[in-house]
Amino acid sequence: MPAYIIGHISIKNPEKWNAYRSQVGATFAAWGGELVFRGNTVEVLNGVHPQTDTVVARFPDKEAIHAWHQSAQYQALIPLRDAGADVVLISLDATA
């Protein structure tokens, strides 16, 4: 069953964030992941959502998400990610 990661992002250093973004997609391939979309918040229709950007990626299953997240390739990018943005990263199982 597919599983997804969703990142809610508040950019604090655009240069470092763009450097991270240019590299992170390549880390998905070994785990069967793919970028579904990246987007900027246009309007919050209900509730509070302080982040400006969102990213969604799909993986074959939750085990692949964990393997990707723990991989040396992704772990090496985390300092750059954290320097560029505050990121809340969650994983979800697809239901219907």
Residue 41 has pLDDT above 80, yes or no: yes
Average pLDDT over residues 32-51: 92
Domain membership flag for residue 46: no
Domain membership of residue 2 as a residue range:
1-11+53-96
Domain membership flag for residue 67: yes
Domain membership flag for residue 45: no
* Domain count along the chain: 1
> pTM of the prediction?
0.88
In sign, the C-alpha dihedral spanning 47, 51, 56, 57 is negative
pLDDT-derived band at 64, boundaries 50, 70, 90: very high
Average pLDDT over residues 71-79: 97
The helix or strand, by DSSP H or E, that contains position 81, with its residue range, turns out to be: helix 78-84
pLDDT at 53 (0 to 100): 94
pLDDT at 4 (0 to 100): 95
